[in-house]
């Protein structure tokens, strides 16, 4: 009722006020008294009646607009995605990365869990060792024909003699320090080790070396 | 979880697609928005309050539509061209449906041309029949803001000159028919 009293007396202002209430009337938000004032004005005022009809037409047309249907094909990629990601999405998604890694490690067998890092360390050590011992850029084989040709037969013979002396010395040294435990040498003579290595490599299988590898 | 996700898609897909379609008026863009919304649903499945799933989805759709509208702006001329073609086709499709189809096509174009949040609120409230509370949740607005924006959006629709022109043409045609009716008998 209060709003009815506030209604301006000027016709133009009245029309403005009524037209502001069109949406409220269409939505059913006006009170009974407000509806009465609204409708009586619309019946008397052709401008407001036209405006009201226009608003009602638009409102009806909007309400009649259909709900669009979403085709199944639109969501096929979504279904594929959700199916593919099902496993990670269920349990692991919310866990921190560290716990995921720990779970993964625990699922691996122990021999692989410890053996693989050890093997990796060994390989790295071998690679590093090779790089240290061999000069950078020397990719030629150690027994390259050019390098052998640089030494005379006398030089080679002298080197072999020195090598035999060294091996003999090391052999005697190891025999002095050898210790028997059961049937095995804890420190075996170096000559035996060298011969065993050559036998293992398939060199001179039927003629094991007695005085050294050379 | 997958079953629940599927259920959520089935429940909301048409509403999301429809909202995007009326907002953008390009089917492919509406499909893109729908896909984006449900991908985000999958990605955020465990963080969402599932009791407010509908509101969350509509909010994501609303944001996605805004992104697409920004992308569409350079192609606005094409969109207007499509709308013109649609209207022309509708007018050529038959005498009886000429005005109605033309009017509805123009109405959709007028809805699309509204600025946000007027457009979203008009679509949500008047086309999709969502309650004020649902719209409040979706757009994070107060109840009074939703009502004010809805009324302003409707008024802006009525201010669309082409729409008004079509309406007045219809009125004058009807009055002509009425006048011609008794003299013909």
pLDDT digit string, tens, across residues A6-32: 455 567 788 888 988 898 898 888 899
Residues of B in contact with A52 (CB under 8 A): none
Q: What is the pTM assigned to this prediction?
A: 0.59
**CA-to-CA dists, residue B154 to A56, A88, A112, A193, angstroms:** 11, 47, 70, 99
User: Mean per-residue pLDDT for B111-132?
Assistant: 92
Task: Please give the pLDDT value at position A1.
Answer: 42
pLDDT of A154 over the 50 cut: yes
Task: Please give the pLDDT value at position A67.
Answer: 87
Residues 6 or more apart whose CB falls under 8 angstroms from that of B175 comprise none
A68, A77, A84, A87: best to mutate for the B interface, most B CBs within 10 A: A68
Question: In the structure, what pLDDT confidence band is assigned to residue A3 with cuts at 50, 70 and 90?
Answer: very low
Instruction: Name the residue with higher pLDDT: A146 or A35.
Output: A35
User: Mean per-residue pLDDT for A106-130?
Assistant: 68
Q: Which of B72, B57, B65 is nearest to B22 (CA)?
A: B65
Domain boundaries, chain B: 2-180
Stretch among A137-151, B21-35, B61-75 having the lowest mean pLDDT: A137-151
Question: In the structure, what pLDDT confidence band is assigned to residue B65 with cuts at 50, 70 and 90?
Answer: very high
Tokens at residue B137, please? 């949740």
Question: In the structure, what pLDDT confidence band is assigned to residue B45 with cuts at 50, 70 and 90?
Answer: confident
Do the Cβ atoms of A67 and B150 come within 8 Å?
Answer: no
SS3 A185: strand
Of B18, B31, B164, the CB nearest to A54: B164
pLDDT above 70 covers what percent of chain A?
53
- Do the interacting molecules here have an ipTM over 0.90? no
| Contact with chain B for residue A61, Cβ under 8 A | yes
How far apart, in whole angstroms, are the C-alpha atoms of residue A181 and residue A190? 17
Stretch among A169-173, A202-206, B159-163 having the lowest mean pLDDT: A202-206
């Amino acid at each position: 009722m209060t709003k009815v009293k506030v209604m301006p007396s000027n016709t133009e202002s009245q029309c403005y006020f009524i037209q502001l209430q069109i949406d409220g009337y269409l939505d059913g938000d006006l009170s009974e008294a407000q509806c009465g004032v609204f409708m009586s004005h619309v019946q008397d005022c052709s401008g407001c009646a036209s405006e009201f009809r226009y608003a009602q037409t638009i409102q009806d047309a909007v309400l009649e607009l259909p709900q669009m249907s979403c085709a199944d094909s639109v969501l096929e990629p979504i279904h594929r995605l959700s199916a593919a990601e099902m496993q990670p999405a269920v349990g692991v998604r919310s866990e921190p990365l560290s716990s995921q890694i720990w779970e993964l490690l625990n699922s691996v067998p122990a021999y692989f869990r410890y053996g693989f890092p050890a093997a990796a360390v060994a390989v790295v050590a071998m690679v590093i060792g090779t790089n240290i011992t061999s000069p950078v850029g020397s990719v030629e084989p150690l027994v390259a024909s050019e390098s052998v040709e640089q030494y005379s037969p006398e030089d080679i013979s002298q080197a072999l003699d020195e090598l035999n002396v060294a091996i003999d010395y090391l052999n005697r040294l190891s025999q002095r320090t050898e210790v028997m435990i059961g049937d095995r040498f804890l420190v075996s003579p170096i000559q035996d080790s060298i011969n065993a290595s050559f036998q293992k490599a398939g060199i001179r299988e039927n003629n094991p070396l007695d005085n050294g590898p050379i | 979880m997958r079953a629940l996700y599927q259920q959520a898609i089935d429940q909301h897909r048409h509403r999301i697609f429809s909202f995007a379609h009326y907002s953008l008026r390009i089917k492919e863009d509406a499909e893109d928005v729908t896909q984006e919304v449900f991908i985000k649903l999958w990605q955020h499945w465990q963080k969402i309050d599932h009791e407010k799933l509908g509101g969350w989805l509509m909010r994501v759709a609303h944001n996605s539509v805004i992104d697409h509208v920004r992308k569409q702006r350079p192609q606005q001329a094409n969109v207007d061209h499509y709308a013109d073609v649609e209207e022309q086709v509708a007018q050529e499709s038959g005498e009886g449906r000429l005005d109605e189809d033309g009017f509805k096509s123009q109405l959709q174009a007028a809805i699309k041309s509204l600025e946000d949040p007027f457009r979203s609120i008009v679509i949500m409230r008047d086309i999709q029949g969502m309650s004020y509370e649902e719209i409040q949740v979706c757009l994070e607005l107060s109840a009074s803001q939703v009502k004010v924006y809805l009324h302003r959006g409707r008024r802006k629709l009525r201010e669309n000159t082409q729409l008004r022109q079509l309406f007045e043409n219809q009125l004058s045609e009807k009055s002509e028919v009425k006048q011609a009716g008794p003299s013909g008998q």
